[in-house]
Amino acid sequence: MSNLFFRATEMISQSYEHRVHLINTFNEEFKKAYNNSDLCRFCYFSTVSGNLEFKHAFSSHYLRSGFQLTIDEDYFLTDNDFTLISSYVLENTEFVKKLMVIGYDTFIVKGKTSIEGIQIPLKEIVNLDLKY
């Protein structure tokens, strides 16, 4: 029984480490791109609460399941801008699968000061097609 508990704890710990590494790596790259003028708006990723309606087989139960992109300079953003920005992440289905496997189920794009934005269920982007 203790071995089972150890393995479960180890899986949760590794998933958390993958999440932290992913967020840190993305944020460093976005910071570099912004400083090099490759991006016109400063953006950053964080882990937040996901939408309970978007749960899937790998959704995180203990950690937050939302993968959020926040646009720091969010003045004059339209719904079309949120959709366009989200497409850069969502068009990479391999990346979306990786997000799902480490427990994310909701992709959120929002502005820092606005309450508007979009929430997208990752399971609608990629079907993990789990077969046992």
pLDDT tens digits, one per residue of 37-48: 988 889 999 999
Decide if 104 contacts 69 (C-beta within 8 A): no
Higher-confidence residue of 6 and 57: namely 57
Residue 132 has pLDDT above 50, yes or no: no
- Per 3-state DSSP, the chain is made up of helix, strand and coil in percentages (nearest 5) of 45, 15, 35
Residue 71 dihedral angles phi and psi, to the nearest 5°: -100, 110
Burial of 41 (0-12, 13-18, 19+ CB in 10 A): middle
Residue 1: per-residue pLDDT: 52
Confidence of residue 129 (pLDDT cuts 50, 70, 90): low
Q: What share of the chain in percent tops pLDDT 90?
A: 38
Residue 28 has pLDDT above 90, yes or no: yes
Q: What share of the chain in percent tops pLDDT 70?
A: 83
| Cα–Cα distances in angstroms (integers) from residue 127 to residues 50, 65, 123, in the given order | 18, 17, 6
Whole-angstrom distance, CA of residue 88 vs CA of residue 91: 6
pLDDT, average across residues 107-128: 89
E-strand stretches of the chain:
43-48, 66-71, 106-111, 117-121
Residue 65: per-residue pLDDT: 93
Neighbour tally for 120: CB within 10 Å: 20
Residue 83: per-residue pLDDT: 85
